[in-house]
Amino acid sequence: MYLGGLCFITDQNASSSLPFEDMTRKVIKSGVRWIQLRNKQNSRKQIYQNAVILRQLTRGTRTLIINDYADIALAADADGVHLGQDDLPLREARKIMGKDTIIGISTHSIEQAAEAETNGADYIGFGPVFYTGTKDAGSPKGVNLLRDIRKHISIPVVAIGGIKLENLASVLDTGIDAVAVASGILKGDIEENVQNFMDIISSYHGLH
């Protein structure tokens, strides 16, 4: 499965002018190969329906990860699930998803990151690196802690939270494997934003 340098996180609040499906089509058309469905507002039924739409758009060409719900990820035939600290425990999610699917975990400290790796996570999300208005994710952790995380964790590390073009280089300098972005892509010209993100990411060894 593809876990490259740029993950797009769906966020209807960051682009009120574009319907959910249209924003995702634009991002995919622009070349993003990793899509993560995050939906905190809708019912589980609507989240499932959105997941099915995304699977139709991504099947065979993109990696699709569903936030929070292992059962919805499985039902929609997604490539994996991304869990928060208050969601189903990783080992229980693995029983549902199977050994060949991707399971990521949101972490906010070195201890949480180490625990996720020990319990068999395929990658960790770490943040928020900077302040973000996208969700209430706690106080910013900064790039220094992100650099420490990279030193202690051997599985892929994905930075998240307030990442924009102007601070992207400082995040990539820590040696992390990928960045997850919502509003940084959706605010303004989506195609241009994606291209700029990908140009900067591609200049770092091992990220593309």
Please report the domains of the chain, with CATH numbers, ordered by start residue: 6-202 (3.20.20.70)
Residue 11: C-alpha distances to residues 3, 28, 39, 143, 185 (Å): 20, 15, 7, 24, 10
End-to-end CA distance of the chain: 14
State the DSSP H helix or E strand holding residue 190, giving kind and residue range, or none if neither: helix 190-202
Encode pLDDT of 123-170 as tens digits: 999 999 998 766 565 789 999 999 999 999 999 999 999 999 999 999
CB burial of residue 139 (10 Å; 0-12, 13-18, 19+): exposed
Query: Is residue 45 pLDDT above 80, yes or no?
Result: yes
Sign of CA dihedral 21, 23, 26, 30: negative
Continuous H helices in 15-172: 20-29, 44-58, 70-75, 90-97, 110-118, 142-152, 165-172
Whether residue 208 is predicted with pLDDT greater than 80 in this model: the reply is no
Condensed to tens digits (0 to 9), the pLDDT of residues 57-108 reads 999 889 999 999 999 999 999 999 999 999 999 999 999 999 999 999 999 9
Q: What is the pTM of this model?
A: 0.93
Query: Token pair of 143, please?
Result: 């790039």
Q: How confident is the model at residue 39 (pLDDT cuts 50, 70, 90)?
A: confident
